[in-house]
Structure 1
């Protein structure tokens, strides 16, 4: 999977929104498929127009290292999932609670190009991840 730094660099070279849109779709194609048994109601993200599933993994530390898997049935949303996972996966829960991926989407110039439904779905994914991190710290 592409690293967040590489994604940010790649977006910096893409001036045209259509090129950025295609790149988001390419990032989604790189995302490993989520196993069918994880595509269930428990892992489904509420508030997304498309179907989105997120699976959380965390070690047993007091401030656990967390990783995430995700998938969507929509190409562009699958790319957004890939970016969100690049922002949050491999970080400690305390870092995740302080990090708002919307700032990354602003930096790469995607937020203003998302439909209101996609923007709401993106916020739902981010809120879900940050809430899971917060719960792991209790």
Structure 2
């Protein structure tokens, strides 16, 4: 059962198809940057009690927290937060792709291909790319533990 304090619209009301459609309309990097910031505003802040060192991801430029809950149907609710707007926007894309998926479905997702389709792969800095990779690795590790 999804925890009320970690609910978000990503993967439910906001789907990958919606994101792909929205990002493909944006040609300039500045427009994509604005979209990331708008997405970050739609991700509710995690309560401080969930911003623990166990949930914090190392290797990110900004602070990032990531957690998972296994639902009774074997699918995951994935939640997170970041103190950086762009990183938080990138996190929302990851949440959109993995929300309500099984561990195997999450393991099979090629997040870098999704960022490529959105036109973001070549636009984000190497340190942010490293951070995205750290988030994805942590997510796959967390969901493979169950």
- Map of 1:108 onto structure 2: 118
- Map of 2:76 onto structure 1: 66
Q: Which residue, 20, 45, 65 being the options, matches 2:32?
A: 20
Distance (Å, rounded) in 2 between the aligned partners of 1:4 and 1:103: 12
SS in 2 for 1:47: coil
Question: More helix per residue: 1 or 2?
Answer: 1
Distance (Å, rounded) in 2 between the aligned partners of 1:52 and 1:66: 19
Matched, 1:44 2:64: no
- Map of 2:135 onto structure 1: 125
Return 5+ residue gaps in structure 1 as ranges: none
Distance (Å, rounded) in 2 between the aligned partners of 1:132 and 1:14: 33
- Map of 2:100 onto structure 1: 90
Distance (Å, rounded) in 2 between the aligned partners of 1:127 and 1:102: 12
Distance (Å, rounded) in 1 between the aligned partners of 2:139 and 2:28: 30
- Map of 2:67 onto structure 1: 55
Q: Is the 8 A contact 1:97 1:131 kept in 2?
A: no
- Map of 1:80 onto structure 2: 90
Q: Is the 8 A contact 1:100 1:126 kept in 2?
A: no
TM-score, normalised via structure 1 length: 0.93
Count of aligned residue pairs for this structure pair: 134
Alpha-carbon RMSD across the aligned residues, in angstroms, is 1.1
